[in-house]
Structure formats: C-alpha cells, structure tokens
Amino acid sequence: MKSISEILTRSPLFKGIAENSIEPMLNCLRAREKNYSKNEYIFHAGASTAEIGIVLTGMVQIIKEDVWGNNTILAQLTEGMLFGEAFVIGNTDKIPVSVYSLQASRILFLDKEKTVTPCKAACEFHYNVSHNMLEILAQKNIFLTERMEHLSKRTLRDKVLSYLSDAAQKAGSREFTIPFDRQGLADYLAADRSALSAVLGKLKDEEILDFKKNKFYLIN
C-alpha cells in the first residue's frame, strides 16, 4: 500500500513540497485518515464540518439531492483530489452536497484552520500548503467562470461559438484542437450530442468555421 506522503506528493495541495517533508507536517494539519467501504456515505448533505477531504485511494462522488429527491452527480473524484474545500473555507454552515464512496476508499481529512493558517516557524513548508490552496481556488474560479460564460449564451449555436472562440484565443491561433470528443463537448455545453453535431454542421455550411474531428478552424 502506498504511503500517504507518496500519494500526497501528487496532490495539488502539496505541490512543491518534498515527499519527506509531508509526513512531519501531517500532525500539524491535524490529519486523520479514515477508510470507507464501497457504497458508503462519507458526508451527508446538510451537515457541518471544518475539515477538507482528500481522496487517498478509491473513488468518491459528490452528489446533490433536490427537494423532490432527485439525485445529481456533480463530480467524481479519484486519488489526490480534494473535496469540500470551497464550502469549508467559505464558511458554509450547512454543506449542500453529499459525498459518497463508490469503491472502498481511504480518505484523509485536514483541519481547515490548520491548513490555511501557516504555523509560526515549526513546519517549513506549511506556508506552501495555504499558498497552494489559494492557487487551487483561483484556478477553479477561472475554470468555472469560463464555462459559465459559455453556458450563459441563449442558444446552442452561441454556446458553441463562445467555446470555440475561447479555445482559439487560448491556442493563439484560429486553428486548434479541442480536448473533447463530441459527447464530451455536448456535456460541457449542457446540450444534446446530436443537436451539437447539427449545429456544427450548419456552421460549417455557413463557412463560419471548418473542422475535422477535434481539429477546428475559425474562418474570417
């Protein structure tokens, strides 16, 4: 079984910290490990916590239930990924999502205050952790803002154009490759795959863009 440090070196929260510096820091972060079996709830929506979760092994889902009892899977997390950090740092009293263990999983919990508040001088790299947390939150912010810009267009056509324009700007070229297949892009844009294909076909007919598989070219 992999050691905790070994796994955490690959977690964004411990980026830039040497593996042998992690172990001694865990005490300071009040880390506690817990195992969950397959199909067990790690956290129930509506409860409170002051701990940030990290998946050490296994796989967990973030689930939201509406008032009529319909469940939506918001995310699926694997090794090294964080959960709950935004709610805990944002001081949400009742966390509105559940966390569910899809497979047998080892979860590490870190105390929020300890994680974001570097200790005076005791742990050399403790400061890196809070700094990494800032980066993680900022980058997630950027990602969410981008997707929101696309999703807030009224028509699928405009969503597609918004997404492709963005991709072109990032690539610095009117010709670029996207990291999605059609189904993936449809999901990202919250649309039906065949409707997406139709819209893309129409845009090609109108000579607004051209594409072959995942390679696109924006005309004019």
Partner DNA sequence: CTAAATATGTTGTAATTGCAACGAAAGGGG
Partner DNA sequence: CCCCTTTCGTTGCAATTACAACATATTTAG
Please give the residue ranges that form the binding site for a copy of itself (CB under 8 A).
64, 66-68, 72, 74, 85-92, 96, 116-117, 127, 130-131, 133-135, 137-142, 144-145, 147-149, 151-154, 161-162, 165-166, 168-170, 174, 190-192, 218, 220
Instruction: Kindly indicate which of the ranges 92-100, 113-121, 122-130, 188-196 contains the residues binding DNA, using the contact rule CB under 7 A.
Output: 188-196
In whole angstroms, give the CA distance from residue 174 to residue 209. Answer: 9
Q: Choosing among a copy of itself, DNA, none, which partner's interface includes residue 156 (Cβ < 5 to 8 Å by kind)?
A: DNA
Question: Is-contact 53 97, C-beta < 8 A?
Answer: no
Q: Which of residues 196-215 bind DNA (CB under 7 A)?
A: 196-201, 211, 213-214
- Residue with Cβ nearer a copy of itself (57 or 130): 130
Question: Is-contact 45 96, C-beta < 8 A?
Answer: yes
Q: How far is the CB of 66 from a copy of itself (least distance, A)?
A: 4
Write the DSSP symbol of residue 80.
T
- Residue with Cβ nearer DNA (37 or 183): 183
Torsion angle, CA of 65/69/73/78, rounded to 10 degrees? 70
- Residue with Cβ nearer DNA (30 or 182): 182
In whole angstroms, give the CA distance from residue 137 to residue 170. Answer: 21
Q: HSE-up of 148 (CA within 13 Å, CB side)?
A: 6
Instruction: Kindly indicate which of the ranges 16-24, 62-70, 121-129, 182-190 contains the residues binding DNA, using the contact rule CB under 7 A.
Output: 182-190
Question: Is-contact 12 30, C-beta < 8 A?
Answer: no
Q: How far is the CB of 202 from DNA (least distance, A)?
A: 8
Instruction: Kindly indicate which of the ranges 57-65, 123-131, 137-145, 187-195 contains the residues binding DNA, using the contact rule CB under 7 A.
Output: 187-195
Structure tokens at 71: 């469940």
- The SS3 call for residue 129 is helix
Nearest CA among 10, 7, 13 for reference residue 128? 13
Structure tokens at 156: 């699928």
Q: Which of residues 117-176 bind DNA (CB under 7 A)?
A: 154-159
* Binding-site ranges for DNA (CB under 7 A): 154-159, 181-183, 190-201, 211, 213-214
